[in-house]
Structure formats: structure tokens, C-alpha cells
């Protein structure tokens, strides 16, 4: 097992996040040596400036948090985030298309983003709280088929975050040995974090990273 802090994408995605909040996020990430910071795309360039000369990655969410944007808008947002310095992209699937069983549109949406970033990490957010078990399995299959490097549980803005059952379902689909899993939403303490890591999760998206590595607990929803 790698050091616990290296599982954590130190995250701040709330609508009220200020410039000062993002600067503080980056300083915390440097102090605790988290794997990355995860921010909305408008703050990628700021994070890049503050994390310059550090090993900490910058992750930008795309099509967030609903996933209902056009494919073209997701591609353009991803391109801009990458140009601004993002190392990784976390995009939300089109949940409505999935529930409509328009599977071609779902995978084409993901593939279009992956095609512009073949050398960067793409994590695909399924938003599992809105899906039944068969839909979680299907969404995972479509994301993997479309080139996702990670499948991710949640935005943290839905009705529920990650669950152990979600992770088990997602893991059951992975048979290529390459796709990894990111759990996010509601991971607030060390015990919960370790439960996911022990299930094989490779990354944790959380705003409670400091509480997790210090053995405390947090009231944050993300």
C-alpha cells in the first residue's frame, strides 16, 4: 500500500469557493503532500500558479455536476482546463442518456473527451446515487469501453456519495487490469477511507483529507 496521503485528491468544488479558498487548498495539499488538488475548471490556472515546482497534480472537473451539457461543451471545457495546466480530468457522464438506454450517446460523449487527452488521466463520474445496480454495471462498462482511466462513483453533489456496494459493482466489471476506481462523496474519516482502499480503490476524492490522515473526522459532504 502506498502512503495514505497519496490516495487523496484534495477537493474543493462548492459554488462559493473563493480565490483565497483555492490558495488555501493548494497550500494544504503541499503541506500534507496529497496526490492532487481537484477544482472547478475556472480555478485550474490559479492552482497551477500555486503548485508550480511541486509534484502535486491538478485535477479539473468537467461537465460538473450534472453531466447534461453537450458533448462539444465538455470537450471545449476539457481542452481549456488542459491548456490552463490540468493534469487530470474528472468528467460526469450524461446520466439522462444512460437512463434512456441511449448507450451510443453515452460512450461517444466519454470518448470525445478522451480523444483530446490520450496522454492524460480521464476519470469518468457515474453518479451512482441515481443509478440502480444494472445501470452502475452498464455505466462502468461504457466508460471502460470509451477509454476511461478511472471510473468514479460520485460528484458529491447528488443524493448520496460512494458506498461499498457501488465499489464492488464497479470492480466486478473491470477485467482489463488497467482501469482504476476513484471513490468520492461522504469519505470523512480514516475508517471509511481504509474500507475503500482495502476494496481496491486507487484514489479518494474528498475535502476531508486532512481529517483522514490525522485520524479525525469531518462534517463535509464531499
Residues labelled as active-site residues:
90, 152, 182
DSSP 120: S
Q: What is the distance between the alpha carbons of residues 142 and 129, in angstroms, rounded to a whole number?
A: 18
Q: What is the distance between the alpha carbons of residues 139 and 133, in angstroms, rounded to a whole number?
A: 10
- Cβ atoms of 36 and 87 within 8 Å: the answer is yes
Q: What is the distance between the alpha carbons of residues 155 and 138, in angstroms, rounded to a whole number?
A: 18
Q: Nearest-CA neighbor of 34 among 45, 46, 47?
A: 47
- Report in angstroms the alpha-carbon separations of 125 from 46, 69, 149: 24, 14, 11
Conformation bin of residue 62: beta by default, left when phi > 0, alpha when psi is -120 to 50: beta
Q: What is the distance between the alpha carbons of residues 118 and 124, in angstroms, rounded to a whole number?
A: 14
Amino acid at each position: 500500500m502506498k502512503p495514505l496521503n497519496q490516495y487523496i485528491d484534495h477537493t474543493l468544488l462548492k459554488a462559493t469557493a473563493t480565490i483565497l479558498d483555492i490558495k488555501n487548498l493548494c497550500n494544504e495539499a503541499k503541506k500534507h503532500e496529497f496526490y492532487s488538488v481537484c477544482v472547478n475548471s475556472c480555478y485550474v490556472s490559479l492552482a497551477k500558479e500555486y503548485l508550480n515546482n511541486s509534484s502535486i497534480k491538478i485535477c479539473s472537473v468537467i461537465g460538473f455536476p450534472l453531466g447534461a451539457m453537450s458533448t462539444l461543451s465538455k470537450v471545449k471545457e476539457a481542452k481549456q482546463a488542459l491548456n490552463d495546466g490540468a493534469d487530470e480530468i474528472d468528467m460526469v457522464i450524461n446520466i439522462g442518456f444512460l437512463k434512456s438506454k441511449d448507450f451510443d450517446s453515452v460512450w461517444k460523449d466519454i470518448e470525445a473527451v478522451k480523444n483530446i487527452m490520450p496522454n492524460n488521466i480521464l476519470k469518468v463520474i457515474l453518479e451512482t446515487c441515481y443509478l440502480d445496480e444494472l445501470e452502475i454495471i452498464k455505466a462502468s462498462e461504457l466508460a471502460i469501453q470509451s477509454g476511461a482511466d478511472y471510473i468514479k462513483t460520485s460528484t458529491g453533489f447528488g443524493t448520496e456519495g460512494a458506498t461499498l456496494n457501488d465499489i464492488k459493482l464497479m470492480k466486478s466489471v473491470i477485467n482489463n487490469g488497467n482501469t482504476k476506481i476513484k471513490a468520492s462523496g461522504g469519505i470523512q474519516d480514516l475508517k471509511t477511507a481504509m474500507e475503500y482502499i482495502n476494496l481496491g480503490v486507487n484514489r479518494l476524492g474528498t475535502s476531508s483529507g486532512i481529517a483522514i490522515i490525522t485520524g479525525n473526522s469531518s462534517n463535509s459532504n464531499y
